[in-house]
Amino acid sequence: MRESPGAPARVVSINACADQLLLALADPGQIAALSLYADDPSLSFLAAEAARFPHDAGPAETVIARRPDLVLAGRYTKRETREMLKRLGFRVVELASVRTIDESIAQIRAVAALIGRAEAGEALVAAIERARAEAAAAAAAHPSRPAVAVYQRRGWVTGGDTLTGELIRLAGFADAGAVLAGRSGGLVPLERMVAAPPDYLLVGEAAGPAEDQGRALLAHPALAALFPPDRRIVLPARLTVCGGPSLPAAIAMLARARQEISVP
């Protein structure tokens, strides 16, 4: 799948989520550089692929040195960097954070169009739609909805109006985070989680030693008693931080988790 005539020949990403869209959609020859976080396996679903490309784009001078035709940034990328690049005449496109599967699909199509790779965009969208349809069909076979809360470091609970919240519901779970932390999410004290526990916790990694204060909460004896390994669903953060190319894997992993639960 070659890029369309007039497509940017040199694209630089200074945003971790834009990195993944470029890696999934662009012709390799179009990628001039990726962000500093592109090869971080805790954040990037495509970290291994990113290692093939320069991944030092961050400060404006590192971007300028690559002479890009297009710079992909995020809404929360350092404002001074974005503004300087615009003043110098570089084309900077800012990507919003996605909160739903449909928003992610729209963003895929928009980026694919920007870089002249519409066919690659539609292939990724088709993979997401297949995973979504399969998960919905599997969930329909199980009328019950076990309650799940995403409990992260320091007690952050993901809210209902989030991409992860939608994925939880799609897989056939009830989103307890929407009750505990509202639409956007928030800190939920351990005492409250223990007093009204959901059926399962969704965590970013399997239980392990408390290496720092953030992780210590997840290893607390009260949580360990209520949520042993068989009541913790592990969904690595790199599958949900950005959406996009990680969505088929994220959807499939949660759908499998629901199918493995014995509740009808």
pLDDT of 25 > 60? The answer is yes
Note the pLDDT of residue 178: 86
CA distance 227 to 193: 11
Contacts for 261 with CB less than 8 Å, ≥ 6 apart:
146, 200
CA distance 45 to 211: 24
Write down the residue that tokens 């300028």 correspond to.
Answer: 64
CA distance 231 to 208: 15
Identify any residues that bridge with 70 across adjacent strands, giving them in sequence order: 11
**Across residues 163-170, what is the average pLDDT?**
96
**Across residues 76-88, what is the average pLDDT?**
93
**Across residues 143-149, what is the average pLDDT?**
94
CA distance 184 to 136: 24
pLDDT of 59 > 80? The answer is yes
Instruction: Decide if 11-97 and 127-259 have a common fold.
Output: yes
Q: What CATH class does 127-259 carry?
A: alpha beta
How is the chain split into domains, by residue range? 11-97, 127-259
Instruction: Report percent pLDDT > 90 for the chain.
Output: 74
| Tokens, residue 30 | 């179009």
Note the pLDDT of residue 58: 86
Helical H segments across 54-211, by residue range: 60-64, 79-87, 101-114, 118-140, 163-171, 176-181, 190-195
Contacts for 42 with CB less than 8 Å, ≥ 6 apart:
236, 237, 238
pTM of the model: 0.92
Closest CA to 79 of 61, 94, 62: 94
Higher pLDDT pick, 196 / 107: 107
Contacts for 83 with CB less than 8 Å, ≥ 6 apart:
none
Write down the residue that tokens 């012709």 correspond to.
Answer: 27
Q: What CATH class does 11-97 carry?
A: alpha beta
The pLDDT tens digits for 181-217 are: 888 888 888 999 999 899 999 998 876 555 656 567 7
DSSP 57: B
Closest CA to 158 of 81, 222, 235, 104: 235
* pLDDT tier for residue 136 given thresholds of 50, 70 and 90: very high
